[in-house]
Structure 1
Amino acid sequence: MSAYVFAFRNNPAVTATEEEVAAWGAWFQKLGSAVTDMGSRVGATALLGTSAGPNALSGYVLVDAADLTAATALAEGCPGLSRGGSVEVGELTEM
């Protein structure tokens, strides 16, 4: 197993509905023991370098998965994807 970060990017001008918040909770429950760190929501951001477009970093979570393909499959259920957000999946490596 390897560790992966899911970096969530969403439009900061859009407020989540109660249904969307519930969908996030259900998705995290579905991920179950794959989640090793629930991470956090992100508030104000500053971006240096290339533009992220209309979506800003909005949160992250750490998961364990067999490989990048398996981690990406877990991320495909992210509720933010249905409203124009994105999830960047990255393998964590030793420094």
Structure 2
Amino acid sequence: MSAFVLAFRNDPAVTATEDQVAAWGTWFQELGSAVTDMGSRVGATTLLGSSAGANALSGYVLVDAADLTAATALAEGCPGLSYGGSVEVGELIAM
């Protein structure tokens, strides 16, 4: 197993509805033991570099998966994808 970060990105002007918040809770339960760190939601952000038009970081979670393909499969269930958000999946490298 390897560790991966699922970084959630969304328009900072979007406020999740109660149904969307409930969908996130359900999805996290479905992820079950793959979650190693529930991470956090992210508030105000500052973006440096050439990606100024990108969606802002809105949260993250750490998961264990067999490989990048398996981690991506976990991310495909993210509720934010249904309302314009995105998920960046990255393998964590031990230091």
Q: Same fold (TM over 0.5)?
A: yes
Q: CA deviation at 1:53?
A: 2.5
For normalisation by structure 2, the TM-score amounts to 0.96
The answer on 1:36 being equivalent to 2:36 is: yes
Aligned sequence identity (%)? 86
Distance 1:92 1:54, change over 3 A: closer
How many equivalent pairs are there? 95
Over the residues paired in the alignment, what is the CA RMSD in angstroms? Answer: 0.9
SS of equivalent to 2:14: coil
Q: CA deviation at 1:36?
A: 0.2
In structure 2, the gaps of 5 or more residues are none
Where do residues 71-90 of structure 1 align in structure 2 (5 Å cutoff)? 71-90=71-90
Distance 2:53 2:72 in 1: 22
For normalisation by structure 1, the TM-score amounts to 0.96
Where do residues 1-95 of structure 1 align in structure 2 (5 Å cutoff)? 1-53=1-53, 55-95=55-95
